[in-house]
Homo-oligomer: A and B are copies of this chain.
Amino acid sequence: MPKRENISMSVIRRLPRYYRFLSELAEQETYRISSGELAKRMNLTASQVRQDFNCFGGFGQQGFGYNTVALKNEIEQILGLRSLRSAILIGVGNLGKAVANHIVFEARGFNLVGAFEKSQNLIGKPLKSLLVKDYNGLEAFCSERVIDVAILCIPEKEAETVSAQLYSLGIKCFWNFSHYDISCKYPDAIVENVHMGDSLMTLSYRIFENSEKNKNS
C-alpha cells in the first residue's frame, strides 16, 4: 500500500542502499530488524530510517520491527525493478565496454538491447550477448522498437550532437557518463549523471582539506 507521490530525491537516493542491506539480511536469514538496528549498521539515525520507510506506507509492526523480505520487496516495487526497460549503449570504448560487462542490468530494472559505435574497428565485435552495431544504423533500429534509455559513454565533444540526435529519435531518458550537461539543454529529459571525474575531484578536496586540518592542529 505505497503512498508514493512526491517522495523526495534524498529519500530515493537512499533506497538502493536500503535495498542492498535488506537483501543481505534476507540472505542471512534474518527476517526481522528494528529501525534502530538497521540505522546502526547503515550509519543513519533510527528516526531517518522510519521517516524514509513511512514515505511509502507503514511496513513495520509496533513492538516488533520490520520484515526484511517484505520491505525489500516493497523497495523493489517502488524502484520499478519489476518491469524491465530497454536500454541502448552509445559508445563502446573502454568505459562503454566496462559498463556493459559490469552492470547486471536485469537486476536494476533494465534490458540492454543494443550497442552502437562510430569507429569502424569496433563495429561487429561481440559485447555480452550483442554484436556492436554501426552508429549510422541507430535511426533504423529505434524506428523498429521502443527504446527507453540511452547510456552515453562517448567523449564530451560528441555528446552535444549525439544527445540531440537521440532526443530527436524520441529518447528522453539518459544514463550519462559524459561530461556534458544534458538537462541544461533539454529540461524535460530524465537524466542520471555518473560523472566519475567530478567524483574524483571531490575526493581530492577532502584529502586536501584533511591534510590542511592536520597541519593546523
Q: Which residues of A approach B to under 8 Å, CB–CB? A: 4, 12-13, 15-17, 19-20, 41-43, 78-81, 83, 85, 93-95, 97-99, 101-105, 107-110, 148-149, 173, 175, 179, 181, 183-184, 187, 190, 192, 194-210, 212
Contact = CB atoms under 8 A, between A and B. Distances in A.
Given A15-B201, A102-B94, A197-B16, A206 B192 contact: yes
Given A94-B101, A95-B102, A102-B196, A79 B17 contact: no
Given A13-B202, A43-B183, A201-B108, A194 B196 contact: yes
B110 A204 contact: yes
A149 B109 CA distance: 33
Contacts of A210: 190
Nearest to A155: B102
Given A98-B98, A194-B194, A202 B148 contact: no
A104 B203 contact: no
A182 to B, nearest CB: 11
A198 B149 contact: no
B98 A94 contact: yes
A6 to B, nearest CB: 10
